[in-house]
Amino acid sequence: MSAWRVLTVSCGGPVATPLCEAHRPLLLVCPADATGEALAGAVAAANGAAIVGRISSVERLGADLLVSRSTHGGRLSTQLRLKGGLAVATAHDPGQVDGKVVIGAPSNLAIDCTPLSEDTVSLEVADIVVSGGRGLDAAGFAALERIAHALGGAVAASLPAVDLGLAPVARQVGQSGKFVNPAIYLAAGMSGTLQHFAGVGPRARIVAVNSDRSAPVFGIASLGVVADAAVLLPRLADALEGKATEGRHAEAAA
Amino acid sequence: MKIVVLIAGVHDPKWPIDAAAALSAPGDRHIMSPFDEAALEMGLRLRDAAPATEIAVRIAGGEGATKIARTVLALNVGDVAVIAFERAWDQAATARALAPECEGADLVLLGREFGDFDDGLVPSTLAGLLGAGFFARAQAISFEDGPTLLRETGASEERVTLSAPLVASVTNDRRTRLRKPLMKNVMQCRAATIESRVVAASSPPSPLILEHIGPAAMLRATSAYTMLEGAIDEQVRALADTLWDARA
């Protein structure tokens, strides 16, 4: 019988609190976002905890705990065995756990915040995400903005596209970016690396647009279009804006 | 100001990787990640603004990181060493091994992920071990009102002024693309001697065991695939209908 308890953690209170020795073996699972990562690190440092990273599954094996995670940009899978003590992890979906705990905020750093005037849909909650890679240029991303606006969706980007300055890093999806799980994920001008699609949840239906029929992205898409995105995306934006206008007229007439 | 820049390096994604390559010395396929490059560039900009700034750069990967070290030397950084970890796959051990390298630093800069085995927990753990403030995912640096790190969260821009000891993890951003070294410097550094050492975590034996490492499974099924054929106008029409119908 495993004595391990697995608890999800939410952030609250002023400081990271050292945890009681009696509550072990214990795995604390923080959210896989910037706040969760900061909290997990603070707890690990304050308590001498083991770190198992961003986990995808947890399994009890006798007295041990076996956790799985991906490494090397999602190209390798790693299993780690925990023999006891305290461990911290992060997860997008912690699965079934034994309970929840609130632990103090990791830092009292003085940070000045200036709200940005952003009237777009939040990437994390968008039901439709339209994403561009380095196969697009600034005009391509402008077309993606129009498409997202017409659909009530959000624009995302791959790491190379962000590196090229085509989109802000807040829009970066992937192993090293945000995790999204929309109904539709339009991937335009990107090859389809594991690193990028590690940031797209299993619910998403992938729609791929690429001029190269052999691009790996077509291997994970449920719908594909072999086309020059520079030609297709502006026309797609026109078509969707036309539908949106028709919809507004129909509503006004009703 | 004393700055320590920690460079993890990653296995070049252009090359295939297996378990043996992941756990062995990385050799000439060990390159700086975009996050490493941004952290280094941020340190160089701070030195540009205040030439008395001291920069030390520590590069993970042991002897295999020598190529990266020569690039850093060519950017006129004098204090460069390569380090190797006994348990590179263990994020807590990595953070504990890095901590002594950062003693006395006013600012520690490192990528938001410290290498292929990290997914963002090494920087925050290191900050905790050092008792320093932690600023995650810094994107740019400003000097208008003193050196200030910036990041955007989507809803807001956040700034922290450099004062007390701070660990900042740095993410990729077009404003911090790494500069190129002068060719004459590159030539001069080809034969430079690089300090190399193994660093061990000063902590009790870890309860963590690496059980298995291997190729990742395919993330998605490839069944039920449809290709929209035809002229561009037909493709646009069909795609527009699909996306329009998918709205919540």
| DSSP-assigned letters across all residues of B195-242 | EEEEE---SSPPSEEEEEEEEPPPSS---S-EEE-S-HHHHHHHHHHH
**Considering only CB atoms, which chain B residues are within 8 Å of A241?**
none
Angle at B221 between CA B217 and CA B224, to 5 degrees: 165
- Residue B111 confidence (pLDDT) above 90: yes
When pLDDT is cut at 50, 70 and 90, the band that residue B26 belongs to is low
User: Within an 8 Å CB–CB cutoff, is residue A224 touching chain B?
Assistant: yes
Provide φ and ψ at A77, rounded to 5°. -115, 140
Task: Calculate the alpha carbon distances from B212 to A4, A55, A68, B23, B219 in Å.
Answer: 21, 14, 9, 11, 19
When pLDDT is cut at 50, 70 and 90, the band that residue B68 belongs to is very high
- Residue B221 confidence (pLDDT) above 80: no
User: Within an 8 Å CB–CB cutoff, is residue A250 touching chain B?
Assistant: no
Mean pLDDT of A120-132: 86
User: Within an 8 Å CB–CB cutoff, is residue A119 touching chain B?
Assistant: no
**Considering only CB atoms, which chain A residues are within 8 Å of B19?**
76
pLDDT of residue B225: 78
As a whole number of angstroms, the distance between CA A135 and CA B149 comes to 31
The one-letter code for the residue type at A195 is Q
**Terminal CA-CA length for chain B:** 53
- Residue B12 confidence (pLDDT) above 60: yes
The string of pLDDT tens digits covering residues B167-199 is 999 998 888 999 999 999 999 998 889 999 888
As a whole number of angstroms, the distance between CA B222 and CA B229 comes to 18
Greater confidence (A163 vs A189) lies with: A189
Residue count of chain A, please give it.
254
pTM, to two decimals? 0.86
Angle between helix B121-130 and A34-47 (nearest 10): 40
Burial group, residue B126, by CB count within 10 angstroms (0-12, 13-18, 19+): buried
Please give the DSSP secondary-structure letter assigned to residue A18. Answer: P
**Considering only CB atoms, which chain B residues are within 8 Å of A235?**
232-233, 236
Please give the DSSP secondary-structure letter assigned to residue A189. Answer: S
pLDDT of residue A15: 61
User: Within an 8 Å CB–CB cutoff, is residue A137 touching chain B?
Assistant: no
Cα of B53 to nearest chain A Cα, Å:
23
Complex ipTM tops 0.95:
no
Q: Which of A183, A186, A236 sits opposite B236 (nearest CB)?
A: A236
**Considering only CB atoms, which chain A residues are within 8 Å of B206?**
50
Task: Calculate the alpha carbon distances from B48 to A32, A43, A61, A134 in Å.
Answer: 35, 36, 54, 31
**Considering only CB atoms, which chain A residues are within 8 Å of B166?**
109
Cα of B15 to nearest chain A Cα, Å:
11
- A126 CB-near residues (< 8 Å, 6+ apart): A148, A152, A153, A154, A180, A182
As a whole number of angstroms, the distance between CA B108 and CA A87 comes to 25
Provide φ and ψ at B59, rounded to 5°. -120, 125
Q: Which of B172, B7, B6, B210 is nearest to A71 (CA)?
A: B210
As a whole number of angstroms, the distance between CA A176 and CA B115 comes to 11
pLDDT of residue A170: 86
pLDDT of residue A122: 79
